[in-house]
Structure 1
Amino acid sequence: MSVSAAKISKTNAARLLEKMGIAFSLHRVDVDEKDLSAVSMARALGAAPECVFKTLVARGDRTGVLMACIPAAAELDLKALAQASGNKHAEMVRLKDVLPLTGYRRGGCSPLGAKKAYPVFVDHSASACERIYVSAGARGLQLFLKPDDLLRAVNGRYAFLARAPV
């Protein structure tokens, strides 16, 4: 169940949106530490999984670290991410490296407010949603905003990144 933003401590991601004058709402839900999947988050939010986006951290052979936001139930197409980002090859960053690179831990990685402003690519399917959920930078805390506003906030791009799980 989500609670009002007045009762939720703001994260760096939320403060960044406020500073930019971007409208959003914050939603907190209880999380099961044994199941930090975005599909479980969608279920807890009572939202369609195609409008709840998980943030994955990858590394391109030419550009270095980048972030990809894809729908909860989808898998990241690394070849598509490489192509969209101007790389020949992209691979997932090891889980143990996500926290030192971004300042975020698994289940709470946000495309906003990371330690460094990495390139962000959002799956094109986000544009079909009026608003989407993305992590606010803490487990169980989600931002709800227009996808174009997210792109503006991170200076990101839409790309065809997601594929259905195998």
Structure 2
Amino acid sequence: MKKTNAMRLLDAAKIPYEVRTYDWEENDLSGTHAADAVGMAREAVFKTLVARGDKTGFVVFCIPVAEELDLKKAARVSGNKAVEMLHVKELLPTTGYVRGGCSPIGMKKKFPTYIDETAMLFDAIAVSGGMRGVQLIVSPDALLAFVDGTYAELTV
């Protein structure tokens, strides 16, 4: 398998990770499908969501795949009065990633990133590897440090 940009960046930073691949279908890009397919608890597999804050601009949130982002909490922790999810057609030009393959690692620009505090409960979590069907298993603390992120309570 060809290395993704996210993998190259982790390699360069000497951050250990494991790659797990799975088959995906256009009609099922859900994170729960990804979690089940790579054999990890849904609580330990994190989806990457991109939003626009009314004060800060683009903001990235990583939350467990079966959970829902609480927009009020997301706004509060990111220093905004309100945040709205980025429309899917804006995802690729903004981040360099497509829906179902959006990784918090290696976006076109460095955006403020918040990882749900439940990540701290695990020795390793999975995030998208930067393309559909690829998950990277990584230490949550290493990921947090790499993206210069913040742990926060983010879900409903």
Structure-2-length-normalised TM-score: 0.98
Letter matched to residue 24 of structure 1: Y
Letter matched to residue 127 of structure 1: M
Instruction: Give the one of 104, 112, 125 matched to 1:132.
Output: 125
**In structure 2, what is the equivalent of residue 40 of structure 1?**
33
Q: Secondary structure at the match of 1:137?
A: coil
Q: Secondary structure at the match of 1:86?
A: coil
Letter matched to residue 5 of structure 2: N
Q: Does residue 121 of structure 1 match 2:110?
A: no
Distance (whole Å) between structure 1 residues aligned to residue 145 and residue 82 of structure 2? 26
Q: State the shift of 1:46 in Å.
A: 1.1
Residues 55-134 of structure 1: pairs in structure 2 closer than 5 A: 55-134=48-127
Letter matched to residue 142 of structure 2: D
Q: Secondary structure at the match of 2:108?
A: coil
**In structure 2, what is the equivalent of residue 54 of structure 1?**
47
Distance (whole Å) between structure 2 residues aligned to residue 152 and residue 33 of structure 1? 32
Q: State the shift of 1:109 in Å.
A: 0.2
**In structure 2, what is the equivalent of residue 22 of structure 1?**
15
Q: Deviations over 1:26-49 (max 9, x none)?
A: 111111221000001011011100
Q: Deviations over 1:129-165 (max 9, x none)?
A: 11000001000011100100100110000000012xx
Identity %: 52
Task: Show structure 1 runs of 4+ deviating over 2 A.
Answer: none
Q: Deviations over 1:63-102 (max 9, x none)?
A: 0001100001000011111111111111101111011100
Structure-1-length-normalised TM-score: 0.92
Letter matched to residue 45 of structure 1: V
